[in-house]
């Protein structure tokens, strides 16, 4: 059984540090007018967010501009996350992970729009042990252009196959996330989803977009573990 967790507003709340650090980086590289107005961040892949930021700031999405925005973002994020109180694990997360990682039948993974280096920073800043997750599909792992979150589910399932020598049954793969994008990528591959209303999408909206289960937060450890194992 494979359980794939989103990071932002599912496992962690980093007080918008990611968006702010991307703007910091853009200002350093492209000037003080660099902004994020009109760019949608929730549930999206970092490579797409970077391209959108470059576009709204009338900068070309060249490999050079993408790479230096990514690299500069990393430094600013590290500094922002170091400020006390910026990053927290969301309610129930630490307990749920603690219980799930003791279950031999469960493989925990990450399926996230974050780049690996900055996704790991957010987990660490929130006190979440990245070692609990034995596989990951990161935001730049989509093998198809343009990248889409949907592509990351097969990437995660391929990693599972490499580690276990057998295919994961999609009906026994669960994606946990806070946005309709998380739910949609699960549905696209016949996987289950838990929509968690700790982001900007309400419980009713998560239900309406087809989450297999929708919850207010991840505090119901026993209920969630039973559901996941059922
Ligand atoms: Mg999220």
Question: What are the sequence ranges of the domains in the chain?
Answer: 2-14+88-229, 17-81
Does residue 116 contact residue 136 with C-beta atoms inside 8 Å? yes
Determine the distance separating the centroid of ligand 1 and the alpha carbon of 143, expressed in angstroms.
21
CA of 179 to the centre of ligand 1 (A): 6
Residue 59 CB partners (closer than 8 Å, separation 6+): 30, 65
- Gap from CA of 168 to ligand 1 centroid (Å): 24
Tokens of 17: 């540090």
User: What mean pLDDT do residues 146-152 have?
Assistant: 95
CA of 229 relative to ligand 1 center, distance in Å: 23
Residues 179-208 as b/e (b if ≥16 CB within 10 A, e otherwise) read: bbbbbbbbbebebbbbbbbbbebeeebbee
How confident is the prediction for the chain on average, in pLDDT?
Answer: 97
pLDDT in tens, 177-229: 999 999 999 999 999 999 999 999 999 999 999 999 999 999 999 999 999 99
Distance of CA 55 from the midpoint of ligand 1 (Å): 23
Q: Are 140 and 151 in contact (CB under 8 A)?
A: no
Query: Given the structure tokens 């490579």, which residue do they identify?
Result: 47
Q: How far is the CA of 198 from the centre of ligand 1 (A)?
A: 9
17-81: which CATH topology? DNA polymerase; domain 1 (1.10.150)
Distance 178 CA to ligand 1 centre (A): 5
Q: Is 90 exceeded by the pLDDT of residue 176?
A: yes
Q: What is the DSSP string of 30-63?
A: H-TT---TT---TT--HHHHHHHHHHHTT----H
Report how far residue 198's alpha carbon sits from residue 195's, in angstroms, rounded to the nearest whole number.
9
166 CA from centroid of ligand 1 (Å): 29
**DSSP E strands: which ranges in the chain?**
2-5, 12-13, 88-89, 107-111, 135-137, 173-177, 192-196, 213-215
Residue range 53-101, pLDDT digits in tens: 999 999 999 999 999 999 999 999 999 999 999 999 999 999 999 999 9
| Ligand 1 centre distance from Cα of residue 117 (Å) | 17
Compute, in angstroms, the gap from residue 180 CA to the centroid of ligand 1.
9
Q: What is 2-14+88-229's CATH number, 3.30.450.20, 3.40.50.880, 3.40.50.1000, 3.40.50.720?
A: 3.40.50.1000
The CA 43 to ligand 1 mean position distance, Å, reads 5
CA 227 / ligand 1 centre spacing (Å): 21
Percentage of the residues of the chain whose pLDDT score is greater than 90: 98
């Amino acid at each position: 059984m494979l359980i794939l967790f989103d990071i932002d507003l599912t496992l962690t709340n980093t007080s918008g540090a990611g968006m702010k650090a991307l703007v910091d980086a853009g200002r350093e590289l492209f000037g003080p007018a660099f902004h994020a107005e009109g760019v949608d961040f929730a549930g999206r892949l970092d490579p797409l967010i970077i391209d959108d930021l470059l576009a709204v700031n009338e900068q070309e999405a060249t490999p050079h501009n993408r790479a230096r925005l990514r690299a500069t973002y990393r430094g600013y994020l590290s500094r922002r996350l170091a400020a006390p109180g910026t990053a927290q694990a969301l309610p129930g997360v630490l307990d749920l992970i603690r219980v799930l990682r003791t279950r031999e039948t469960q493989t925990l993974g990450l399926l996230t729009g974050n780049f690996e280096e900055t996704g790991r920073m957010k987990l660490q800043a929130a006190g979440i042990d990245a070692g609990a997750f034995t596989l990951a599909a990161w935001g730049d792992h989509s093998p198809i252009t343009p990248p889409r979150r949907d592509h990351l589910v097969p990437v995660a399932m391929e990693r599972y196959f490499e580690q276990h020598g057998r295919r994961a049954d999609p009906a026994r793969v669960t994606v946990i996330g806070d946005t309709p994008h998380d739910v949609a990528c699960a549905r696209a591959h016949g996987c289950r989803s838990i929509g968690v209303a700790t982001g900007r999408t309400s419980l009713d909206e998560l239900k309406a977009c087809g989450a297999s289960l929708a919850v207010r937060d991840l505090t119901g450890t026993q209920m969630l573990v039973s559901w996941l194992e059922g």
